[in-house]
C-alpha cells in the first residue's frame, strides 16, 4: 500500500512538471507585450539588456577604479566636463569655462536647473562637497591623487565655481569628467555606494551582486528629450561564449562578440567595431638582463610578427601599433611607427649577436589567465622567438597573482597585457611608462621621455603639445620599450533595432541616446 502511494507521488510530481512547463508558454505572451508599455510607440521596446563581463567594484563613483565599473556607472553620474567620442571634451555640468592666462585659474559657469535623481537641485554646495570628498577635506581620507595639484576650490557665486591650481597642467580638464570627479549630492553622504545618486541620464534602481545592475530613466534629465529608454539592465556574464548564445536567444540586446564567432551572428545582428584605444603589448622587466639592453629589445621587436598575432588571435580585428598611442586618438598619434620593426629574422639575429647573445638565451613569459588572448599571444611569440634562438617558457597565472607579482611586484621577465585606453593623450603616454608614474611596471627609464612628459603639461598650445607627444612616441619606438602589437577592436553585436550606440576611446556604454527603432 505504502509503495503504491509512492508511485502516485512520483506521478503527481511528473504531472506538476508537465503542467507547469505547458502553462508557461501561455503566460509568456502577455509578459513580453507587457514589458514594452512605453509612452511613445507601443511596439518598440523601451528597455535594453546589456551584457558586461563582471560586477562593478564600487557604485560610489569616487571609490570605483576598475574600468568595468565606469562602463556602467557613467550613465548615472556627470562631471563638470564630459567626454566626447573622439577623445576630446565638451561641457558637462559646467555650461562654459575659462582658463586664466597663467593656466592656474579655472572658472566654471554651472548649468542651472539641473536636478539629482532624488529630485534635489544641484547646488554649489554639492560641487564643493564632491571635490572636498575627493581631496579628503571632509575629514575623510583623500580618495584620489588627481587633485594633489589643486590649491583651492571655491564657489564665487551661485553659478560660478573656481578651481585654483598650484602649477599649470594642460591635462587638468580631463580630471573633471564623471570618471575622475563625478558630482554627487551632499545629502547622500555615507550612502554613495548602497544608493548612488547623480545627475546622469539614468538613475539607480537595484544592484544584485553577480546578477545585474538595473537603471531607470531620469525623467528630469537636463538634456531635453534624453534619454530615450525607460530601463537599462547590465547583466553580468563572464563567459564570452555563453554571452553570444544569450544574444542569439534574445536574452541580451548588446554584447561583445568573440572575434572568431563574428561569422555566426553577422547576418542577423548589427555589428559595430570599436577601436578599444588600448595598446596590447609584450613587455619586459627592463632592469633585468638581458632586457636592459636596447638591442635585445629591438631584436625581439624584429622577431615577433604582429600580423600573425592579429590574424590568429583577433581574426584580423585589430590595428597594428608602433607605440602606446592608437589611431583612435586621431592627430595625437604619430603615424608610421607601426612599420618600424617589420619582421626580419636575420636582422633580429644580428642584433642579438651584437648585444652579446649570438646563441640566444632562455627566459619566461608570465601571462594572466583571466582572458585567453594573453596565452594565445604568448604562444605565437614563443614560436616567433624560437627562430632567433630565444627559448621562452610560458607561465600562466591567475589575474590576482599577475597583479601581485608582475604588475605591482615587478618580479617577472616578460609578460603580455593590454594597457587600458585613456581619454587623454597625456595619460596614454604617461601612465605605465614614464618614471614619474607609479604604474611604470616595465621599469622603463629615459630622461628625454620624462622631460617631455613634464614639459607638455606646461604647454598650453595644442599644436605644440602634439609635437611633444609625437616625439614621445618616437622614443618609445626607437627604444623598443615594448613590443607594441595592436589595438584590438571590440566587436559589439546588437539587436538590429538598436540605434544610437556611441563608442568612446575608452570603455563606456553610453545609453543616453540609445533607442530601438523599426
Partner 1 sequence: MMYILRRIILLITTILLVSMITFGVFQILPGDPVRTMLGTEADPTQIENLRSELGLDRPLYAQYVDWMKGLLTGQLGDSIRFSMPVKDLLFDRLPVTMSLAGITLLIVLLISLPLGMFAARRQNKISDVSLSTVTQIGMAVPSFWLGMMLILYVGLQFSFFKISGYIPWTQSVAGALSTLLLPALTIAIPQIAINFRYVRTAILEQVQLDYVRTIRSKGMSEQNVMYKHVLKNSMIPILTVFGLIMAEVVAGTIIVEQVFSLPGVGQLLITAISNRDFPLVQGIVMYITVAVVMINFIVDILYSVLDPRIRLR
Question: Exposed/middle/buried for 359, CB within 10 Å: 0-12, 13-18, 19+?
Answer: exposed
Strand 414-419 to strand 279-284: parallel, antiparallel, or no bridges (unpaired)? antiparallel
How many angstroms separate the CA atoms of 21 and 28, rounded? 11
**Does 139 contact partner 1 by CB under 8 A?**
no
Q: Which of 38, 45, 55, 274 binds partner 1 (CB under 8 A)?
A: 55
Q: What is the maximum alpha-carbon separation in the chain? A: 97
**Does 383 contact partner 1 by CB under 8 A?**
no
Select the span of 22-30, 80-88, 115-123, 316-324 touching partner 1 (CB under 8 A): 22-30
**Does 239 contact partner 1 by CB under 8 A?**
yes
Select the span of 64-72, 286-294, 472-480, 496-504 touching partner 1 (CB under 8 A): 64-72
Closest among 105, 87, 73, 280 to 180, alpha carbons compared = 73
**Minimum distance, C-beta of residue 174 to partner 1, in the bound complex (Å):** 14
Residue nearer to partner 1 on the CB measure, 7 or 139: 7
Residue nearer to partner 1 on the CB measure, 107 or 211: 211
**Does 29 contact partner 1 by CB under 8 A?**
no
**Does 407 contact partner 1 by CB under 8 A?**
yes
**Minimum distance, C-beta of residue 143 to partner 1, in the bound complex (Å):** 7
Interface with partner 1: number of residues (CB under 8 A): 57
Q: DSSP for 199-229, please give it.
A: SSSEEEEEEETTTEEEEEE-TT-SSTT----
**Minimum distance, C-beta of residue 495 to partner 1, in the bound complex (Å):** 16
Distances in Å between the Cα of 340 and the Cα atoms of 309, 322, 491 are: 17, 7, 28
Q: Which of 130, 237, 305, 481 binds partner 1 (CB under 8 A)?
A: 237
**Minimum distance, C-beta of residue 248 to partner 1, in the bound complex (Å):** 6
Q: Which of 8, 12, 15, 17 binds partner 1 (CB under 8 A)?
A: 17
Q: Which of 187, 246, 270, 435 binds partner 1 (CB under 8 A)?
A: 246
Cell reading at 489: 577592436
Residue nearer to partner 1 on the CB measure, 418 or 450: 418
Three-point CA angle 171, 173, 179, nearest 5°: 105
Distances in Å between the Cα of 273 and the Cα atoms of 131, 349, 429 are: 36, 38, 24
**Does 268 contact partner 1 by CB under 8 A?**
no
How many angstroms separate the CA atoms of 407 and 248, rounded? 37
Judge contact between 127 and 161, C-beta under 8 A. yes
Q: Which of 102, 190, 249, 463 binds partner 1 (CB under 8 A)?
A: 249
Q: Which of 44, 104, 124, 248 binds partner 1 (CB under 8 A)?
A: 248
**Does 455 contact partner 1 by CB under 8 A?**
no
Three-point CA angle 297, 302, 307, nearest 5°: 125
Q: Which of 128, 170, 175, 235 binds partner 1 (CB under 8 A)?
A: 235
Residues 6+ apart with CB under 8 A from 367: 374, 375, 377, 378, 394, 395, 396, 397, 402, 415, 416
Select the span of 86-94, 229-237, 347-355, 372-380 touching partner 1 (CB under 8 A): 229-237
How many angstroms separate the CA atoms of 184 and 129, rounded? 8
Q: Which of 34, 40, 241, 518 binds partner 1 (CB under 8 A)?
A: 241
**Minimum distance, C-beta of residue 213 to partner 1, in the bound complex (Å):** 12
**Does 379 contact partner 1 by CB under 8 A?**
no
Cell reading at 122: 544641484
Residue nearer to partner 1 on the CB measure, 218 or 237: 237
- Tell me the per-residue interface mask from 387 to 406 with partner 1, x by CB under 8 A, - otherwise: -----------xxxx-xxx-
Residue nearer to partner 1 on the CB measure, 338 or 431: 431
- Which 332-371 positions form the footprint of partner 1 (CB under 8 A)? none
Closest among 386, 293, 70 to 198, alpha carbons compared = 70
Judge contact between 68 and 52, C-beta under 8 A. yes
**Minimum distance, C-beta of residue 2 to partner 1, in the bound complex (Å):** 9
Q: Where are the beta strands (DSSP E) in 55-149?
A: 81-83, 89-91, 94-99, 105-110
**Does 438 contact partner 1 by CB under 8 A?**
yes
**Does 66 contact partner 1 by CB under 8 A?**
yes
Distances in Å between the Cα of 302 and the Cα atoms of 305, 306, 323, 340, 359 are: 8, 10, 14, 9, 16
Judge contact between 92 and 79, C-beta under 8 A. yes
Would you give the DSSP letter of residue 115? B
**Does 67 contact partner 1 by CB under 8 A?**
yes
**Does 496 contact partner 1 by CB under 8 A?**
no
Residue nearer to partner 1 on the CB measure, 23 or 497: 23
Helix axes 294-303, 345-354, angle to 10 degrees: 160
**Does 27 contact partner 1 by CB under 8 A?**
yes
Q: Which of 44, 104, 124, 245 binds partner 1 (CB under 8 A)?
A: 245
Strand 362-368 to strand 391-397: parallel, antiparallel, or no bridges (unpaired)? parallel
- Which 190-219 positions form the footprint of partner 1 (CB under 8 A)? 193, 208-212
How many angstroms separate the CA atoms of 68 and 227, rounded? 22
**Does 141 contact partner 1 by CB under 8 A?**
yes
- Positions touching partner 1 (CB under 8 A) are 3, 7, 10, 13-14, 17, 20-21, 23-25, 27-28, 55, 57-58, 63, 65-67, 141-146, 193, 208-212, 235-239, 241-242, 245-246, 248-249, 251-252, 398-401, 403-405, 407-408, 420, 438-439
Amino acid at each position: 500500500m505504502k509503495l503504491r502511494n509512492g508511485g502516485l507521488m512520483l506521478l503527481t510530481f511528473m504531472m506538476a512538471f508537465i503542467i507547469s512547463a505547458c502553462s508557461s508558454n501561455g503566460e509568456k505572451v502577455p509578459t513580453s507585450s507587457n514589458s514594452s508599455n512605453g509612452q511613445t510607440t507601443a511596439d518598440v521596446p523601451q528597455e535594453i539588456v546589456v551584457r558586461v563581463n563582471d560586477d562593478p567594484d564600487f557604485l560610489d563613483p569616487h571609490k570605483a577604479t576598475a574600468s568595468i565599473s565606469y562602463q556602467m556607472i557613467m550613465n548615472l553620474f556627470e562631471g563638470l566636463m564630459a567626454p566626447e567620442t573622439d577623445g576630446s571634451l565638451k561641457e558637462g555640468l559646467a555650461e562654459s569655462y575659462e582658463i586664466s592666462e597663467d593656466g592656474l585659474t579655472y572658472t566654471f559657469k554651472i548649468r542651472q536647473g539641473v536636478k539629482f535623481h532624488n529630485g534635489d537641485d544641484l547646488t554649489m554646495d554639492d560641487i564643493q562637497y564632491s571635490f572636498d570628498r575627493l581631496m579628503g577635506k571632509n575629514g575623510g581620507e583623500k580618495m584620489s591623487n588627481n587633485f594633489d595639484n589643486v590649491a583651492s576650490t571655491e564657489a564665487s557665486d551661485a553659478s560660478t565655481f573656481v578651481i585654483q591650481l598650484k602649477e599649470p597642467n594642460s591635462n587638468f580638464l580631463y580630471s573633471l569628467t564623471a570618471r575622475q570627479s563625478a558630482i554627487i549630492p551632499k545629502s547622500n553622504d555615507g550612502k554613495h555606494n548602497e544608493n548612488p545618486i547623480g545627475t546622469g541620464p539614468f538613475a539607480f534602481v537595484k544592484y544584485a551582486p553577480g546578477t545585474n545592475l538595473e537603471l531607470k530613466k531620469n525623467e528630469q534629465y537636463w538634456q531635453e528629450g534624453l534619454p530615450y529608454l525607460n530601463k537599462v539592465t547590465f547583466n553580468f556574464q563572464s563567459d564570452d561564449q555563453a554571452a553570444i548564445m544569450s544574444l542569439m536567444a534574445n536574452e541580451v540586446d548588446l554584447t561583445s562578440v568573440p572575434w572568431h564567432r563574428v561569422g555566426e551572428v553577422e547576418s542577423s545582428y548589427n555589428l559595430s567595431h570599436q577601436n578599444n584605444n588600448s595598446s596590447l603589448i609584450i613587455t619586459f622587466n627592463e632592469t633585468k638582463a638581458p632586457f636592459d639592453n636596447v638591442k635585445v629589445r629591438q631584436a625581439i621587436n624584429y622577431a615577433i610578427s604582429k600580423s600573425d598575432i592579429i590574424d590568429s588571435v583577433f581574426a584580423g580585428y585589430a590595428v597594428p601599433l608602433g607605440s602606446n598611442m592608437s589611431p583612435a586618438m586621431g592627430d595625437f598619434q604619430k603615424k608610421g611607427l607601426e612599420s618600424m620593426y617589420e619582421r626580419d629574422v636575420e636582422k633580429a639575429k644580428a642584433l642579438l649577436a651584437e648585444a652579446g647573445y649570438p646563441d640566444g638565451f632562455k627566459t619566461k613569459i608570465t601571462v594572466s589567465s583571466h582572458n585567453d588572448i594573453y596565452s594565445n599571444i604568448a604562444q605565437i611569440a614563443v614560436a616567433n622567438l624560437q627562430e632567433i634562438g630565444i627559448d621562452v617558457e610560458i607561465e600562466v597565472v591567475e589575474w590576482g597573482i599577475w597583479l601581485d607579482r608582475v604588475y605591482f611586484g615587478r618580479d617577472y621577465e616578460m609578460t603580455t597585457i593590454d594597457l587600458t585606453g585613456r581619454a587623454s593623450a597625456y595619460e596614454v603616454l604617461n601612465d605605465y611608462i614614464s618614471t614619474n608614474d607609479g604604474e611604470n611596471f616595465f621599469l622603463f627609464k629615459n630622461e628625454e621621455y620624462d622631460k617631455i612628459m613634464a614639459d607638455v603639461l606646461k604647454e598650453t598650445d595644442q599644436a605644440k603639445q602634439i609635437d611633444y607627444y609625437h616625439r614621445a612616441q618616437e622614443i618609445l619606438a626607437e627604444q623598443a620599450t615594448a613590443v607594441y602589437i595592436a589595438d584590438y577592436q571590440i566587436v559589439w553585436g546588437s539587436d538590429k533595432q538598436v540605434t544610437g550606440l556611441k563608442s568612446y576611446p575608452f570603455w563606456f556604454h553610453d545609453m543616453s541616446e540609445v533607442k530601438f527603432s523599426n
